Amino acid sequence: MISIPENNPNIAEFIQTELERQVDFGRLRVGEPTLVLEIRDALLERAQGMFLWVVLQINSLCLAKTDESIRHALADLPRDLPSTFSRILEQSAALGQKDQRRILELITAAYRPLATDELREALSVVPGDPDWNPARMPNDIYAALACCGSLVVVDEETLSVKLIHHSVKQFLLSGPKGMAGQTFTIQDANKTMASVVMTYLDYGIFDTQLSNRVIPLVQHGSVPMKVFSSVLDSSSIQKVALRLLKSQKPSSIDVSKVLARPNAPRCNLPINIPSFFTLGYIGHSTFCVIRSKIWRLTNLYVELWIGMCLS
């Protein structure tokens, strides 16, 4: 990820520094050494002082696989930021146009940046379907975000997902209509978030009853793998998978503590539920929720929220 400077340095210096950094890191690869000078000159000529424009063009050029494709890109550089945003979304749509719009709507509607795990959970939700299927959850959030190109980034310190710049949100919400589904209204984004949150509420994950049952030791080999998928996070699943590949004999891992949850819900989701409500629903309830397929969950949400406020 290329950082956009805050102190507004000379753009020629910025282009020079970033190209050197991308070549040094091996992200920008050229067959003909002098091509990097062509890139520098083309960016300097067309940048018009737009640092974000430079950042996005360099990101795109880093994806080019041949000198010929780099030169084609330089000959057809988008003239401004809206054109750049549109081209990035158009080129990335092949990796999942439906997911692209949903991700952008969720990020736009969120009251704070979504954590990567929160977004993975949200993408696994099928609005109106009360049965959560862990197989729908993206295994690699970075691969899932590829359909948005360089317009969506992950903060490596906080592991939160956000748009690369506030101007992207402005483009998405006010861009010209008919742009291959690239733009939408804030009402569209709010409805998408509300439908995800309310369906999430219907998964039955709020049961807190106690149980006196005695759970016997259970060897993991006797438990279907889908059970593990529903109770472990992604990194833990990969570690278990690696251990299973390396092991030559059945493991004696005891999973009884996991199974001991009383009246176990259909799934065990890692999102902090109250905060997920806050970021995804407060302020959205006025946007035609009753007309959605899952309007029946409104009362459940209200009762639950009142209960949390009074507790």
Calculate mean pLDDT across residues 290-297. 44
What is the reported pLDDT for 182?
A: 74
170 and 133 in a single domain? The answer is yes
57 and 39 in a single domain? The answer is yes
227 and 300 in a single domain? The answer is no
Taking the C-alpha atoms of residue 150 and residue 176, their distance in angstroms, rounded to an integer, is: 21
Taking the C-alpha atoms of residue 302 and residue 281, their distance in angstroms, rounded to an integer, is: 11
102 and 27 in a single domain? The answer is no
Q: Look at 122 and 130; give whichever has higher pLDDT.
A: 122
Taking the C-alpha atoms of residue 43 and residue 34, their distance in angstroms, rounded to an integer, is: 15
Of 32, 49, 77, the residue at which a domain comes to its end is: 77
199 and 281 in a single domain? The answer is yes
Task: Give the domain range for residue 69.
Answer: 11-77
Strand spans (E) along the chain: 114-115, 152-155, 160-163
Taking the C-alpha atoms of residue 90 and residue 117, their distance in angstroms, rounded to an integer, is: 26
Is residue 42 assigned to a domain? yes
What is the reported pLDDT for 131?
A: 85
Q: Look at 262 and 37; give whichever has higher pLDDT.
A: 37
| Res 126 pLDDT > 60 | yes
Taking the C-alpha atoms of residue 121 and residue 196, their distance in angstroms, rounded to an integer, is: 10
Per-residue pLDDT tens over the stretch 143-187: 999 999 999 999 999 999 999 999 999 999 986 654 555 789 999
Of 22, 47, 77, the residue at which a domain comes to its end is: 77
Calculate mean pLDDT across residues 34-56. 95
Taking the C-alpha atoms of residue 111 and residue 73, their distance in angstroms, rounded to an integer, is: 36
Query: Residue 248: which pLDDT band, with cuts at 50, 70 and 90?
Result: low
Is residue 66 assigned to a domain? yes
Calculate mean pLDDT across residues 95-117. 93
134 and 254 in a single domain? The answer is no
Is residue 21 assigned to a domain? yes
| Res 209 pLDDT > 60 | no
Is residue 294 assigned to a domain? yes
Is residue 303 assigned to a domain? yes
Taking the C-alpha atoms of residue 253 and residue 218, their distance in angstroms, rounded to an integer, is: 8
126 and 183 in a single domain? The answer is yes
Number of domains in the chain: 3
Is residue 193 assigned to a domain? yes
143 and 23 in a single domain? The answer is no
Of 50, 77, 104, the residue at which a domain comes to its end is: 77
251 and 295 in a single domain? The answer is no
% helix, strand, coil for the chain, step of 5:
60, 5, 40
Is residue 6 assigned to a domain? no
| Res 289 pLDDT > 50 | no
Q: Look at 132 and 122; give whichever has higher pLDDT.
A: 122
Q: Which residues, 6 or more positions from 229, have their beta carbon under 8 angstroms from its beta carbon?
A: 134, 135, 237
168 and 298 in a single domain? The answer is yes
102 and 193 in a single domain? The answer is yes
Is residue 166 assigned to a domain? yes
Do the bridges between strand 160-163 and strand 114-115 make them parallel or antiparallel, or are there none, so unpaired? antiparallel
Q: How far apart are the first and last CA of the chain?
A: 43
As a whole number, the mean pLDDT across the chain is 77
- The DSSP output letter for 138 is -
| Res 12 pLDDT > 80 | yes
CA dihedral defined by 277, 281, 283, 286, rounded to 10 degrees? -140
69 and 153 in a single domain? The answer is no
